[in-house]
Homo-oligomer: A and B are copies of this chain.
Amino acid sequence: MNHFTLTATDTYSQARCGSLQTGHGVIKTPCFMPVGTKATVKGLTPRQLHEEIDAQIILANTYHLFLRPGEQLIGDLGGLHAFMGWDGPILTDSGGFQVFSLASLRTLEEEGVTFRSPVDGSRHLLTPERAIEIQEILGSDIIMAFDECTPYPVDYDEARRSLQLTARWAERCKTARKRSDNLLFGIVQGSMFPELRRESAELTREINFDGYALGGLSVGEEKSLMYEMVQFTAPLLPENQPRYLMGVGKPEDILTSVAAGIDMFDCVLPTRNARNGMYFTWQGPLVIKQARYRTDSLPIDEQCSCYVCQNFSRAYLRHLFQSAEILSSVLATIHNLYFYHQLMNKIRLQIEKGSFIDFMKNFILNYDISSQSHSK
């Protein structure tokens, strides 16, 4: 039996609903994965992730856990699920993106990447084999192939060299895998060149992964260019396997990408922006520090059923933010993750009902990205 089953497809777009079987339960797609970088979704207990958010799956960052506290410690304590007290599915990235964006003094070679730890200055070599080993020691349900995240902008030749290295590394990742209780996803690169995206998709498909990710997007390019790449690349991937758009995105990006046939998303926006006092609403983002909310007795979003909107006014949430209270981050994180999960719930429902495109149009019509729509 395949681990991924399509349960509904849209007539008017490439959108689809699916069911993804993992070692820690079934995930309904399209889905959003809250980011739990260092073995914690910042500010929330696993109980809150279940009870307040109904989160299906979370993402953790291999690079960060490798540096601190180290994968071996986590493995010795029973793996990442036991370590962080989360019994649902976990996806880990390969560490590739972070090595290229965060580590210093890195050297790229065929073998892998050598870099210096920002935590203690120690030198490390991350290879495809090592990235798989680390993720398997962590015990993730979905593990990612180690890729070179091609920088942007980049010329055609460099993008091609990079995607071909990623493909050779992908092959080595497949070979290095030892556990049979996880799913291994390959990553398609190719920068903003359709021809190279096609080449990368073909090379990656040949290796036969359990799922396919689109990497190297949302890295500074124009939004329209990203959409173009997603729309071009998604249909090049196997229809009967999950498709994951890494690091994306805003609600409008998710809708557009679902319409292009993407099944999985992760992004730091709902959690990071929460800590900066930005709340997502069905009318657009709301910046709680604004003086207009000082005496505002309304909830963040009158349409929202989350714990925060059922119990607290904008005035209270503004007070917490202005007072730099921890609870400000906690409540905003609960609300924003609830919003993202409601968005995904609605997306799945609308695909099943055959009304996804209308829903998407309506959402975008009501959603003011300028965050100026919250008059009392």
Contact = CB atoms under 8 A, between A and B. Distances in A.
Contact of A322 (B68, B84, B312, B322): B68
Contact of A39 (B38, B43, B319): B319
Interface stretch (A69-77, A92-100, A175-183): A69-77
Given A295-B73, A326-B330, A316 B47 contact: no
A198 interface: no
A104 interface: no
B331 A45 contact: yes
Copies of this chain present in the complex amount to 2
A325 interface: yes
A127 interface: no
A194 interface: no
A44 interface: yes
Interface string A327-347: 101110010000000000000
A331 B295 CA distance: 32
B42 A319 contact: no
Contact of A312 (B85, B295, B315, B320): B85
A329 B331 CA distance: 15
A326 B69 contact: no
Interface in A34-75: 38-40, 42-47, 68-69, 73
A366 interface: no
A152 interface: no
A326 B327 CA distance: 10
A83 interface: yes
A22 interface: no
A327 B42 contact: yes
Given A84-B316, A313-B83, A327 B45 contact: yes
A276 interface: no
Contact of A44 (B85, B307, B323, B327): B327
A240 interface: no
A311 interface: yes
A294 interface: yes
Contacts of A45: 307, 327, 330-331, 334
> Residue among A78, A295, A329 with the most chain B CB within 10 A?
A295
A297 interface: yes
Contacts of A84: 312, 316
A294 B69 contact: yes
Contacts of A322: 68-69
26 contacts: A38-B323, A38-B325, A39-B316, A39-B320, A42-B325, A42-B327, A43-B326, A44-B327, A45-B307, A45-B330, A45-B334, A47-B307, A68-B319, A68-B322, A68-B323, A69-B294, A69-B315, A69-B319, A69-B322, A73-B315, A77-B295, A77-B297, A77-B313, A77-B315, A78-B297, A84-B312
Given A76-B295, A326-B330, 10 more contacts: A38-B323, A39-B320, A40-B320, A45-B331, A69-B294, A69-B315, A77-B315, A77-B316, A84-B316, A326-B326
Interface of A: 38-40, 42-47, 68-69, 73, 76-78, 83-85, 294-295, 297, 307, 311-313, 315-316, 319-320, 322-323, 325-327, 329-331, 334
Nearest 5 pairs of A and B residues by beta carbon: A85-B311, A43-B326, A40-B327, A69-B319, A38-B323
